[in-house]
Structure 1
Amino acid sequence: MVTIYLRYVIDPYKLAEFEHYGKLWIPLVNRMGGRHHGYFMPSEGANNIALALFSFPTLAAYEQYRSASQTDAECQAAFRYADDTRCIVSYERSFFRPVLEGSSQENAP
């Protein structure tokens, strides 16, 4: 399993727009073979940092999702929404292998 961590720098005056953007993506990731763990909005501390976490069974499955999202109408609409509202200033993506109860190193890539 691979978990994707997205760290967003967002416009703090467009929190509602970014939250809407996140709500668009959660069902899309789930529909396309992943498991979305949610978006995490600013609360205390920095008012312009948000996070998202979602997992795919393999890195290959994630790459397949990324490719499919380029032609999926709902995904393209979500990308356009972010562009139109300019709620995202920048983002960075990292990949992790989760350690879960009952998991073993045998399942590591």
Structure 2
Amino acid sequence: MLTCVIRYHIDPNKRKLFAEYARNWGQAIPRCGAELIGYYAPYEGSSTLAYGIYSIASLADYDAYRARLAEDPLGRENYAFARRERFLLREDRTFLKLVSTPRGPGEAE
């Protein structure tokens, strides 16, 4: 399983538009085959950094997911919405693999 972390640099004056964008992905991403962990908007500290996080089984599954997302009506509209409103200034993707396991109280490290 891979986790994709998208780091967005957003226009701090358009945070409400980013929140709408995030809510739309909340519907489209799971429908197109990825496990959405969530979208996170600035609250305290930086007013320009936001994140989207989801998991997918493999890079091959990611390619198929991206193709479905590009064909999804809400996905297409959300991409157009972001281009039209220009609230995303930059977007970077990083794929991470979990290398630890959860530990219970008292378990050795």
Q: Distance in 2 between matches of 1:70 and 1:40?
A: 22
Question: Please, which runs of 5 or more residues in structure 1 have no aligned partner?
Answer: 103-109
Counterpart in 1 of 2:57? 57
- SS of the counterpart of 1:44? coil
Counterpart in 2 of 1:105? none
- SS of the counterpart of 1:46? coil
Larger Rg: 2
Q: How many correspondences in the alignment?
A: 102
Counterpart in 2 of 1:2? 2
Native 8 Å contact 2:7 2:92 kept in 1:
yes
Give percent identity, aligned residues only.
Answer: 30
The amino acid across from 2:15 in the alignment is: L
Q: What root-mean-square deviation, in Å, do the aligned CA atoms of Structure 1 and Structure 2 show?
A: 1.4
Cα deviation for residue 87 of structure 1 reads 1.0
Question: Please, which runs of 5 or more residues in structure 2 have no aligned partner?
Answer: 103-109
Cα shift readout 1:38-78 (whole Å, capped 9, x = no counterpart): 11111111100001100012221111011222222221001
Cα distance change on mapping 1:100 and 1:29 into 2, 3 Å:
farther
Cα shift readout 1:8-31 (whole Å, capped 9, x = no counterpart): 000000000000000000121111
Q: Distance in 1 between matches of 2:12 and 2:75?
A: 24
Question: Structure 1 segments of 4 or more deviating over 6 A?
Answer: none
Given the two structures, how large is their TM-score scaled by the length of structure 1? 0.87
Q: Distance in 2 between matches of 1:74 and 1:34?
A: 15
Q: Distance in 2 between matches of 1:49 and 1:84?
A: 20
Matches within 5 A, 1:1-109: 1-99=1-99, 101=101
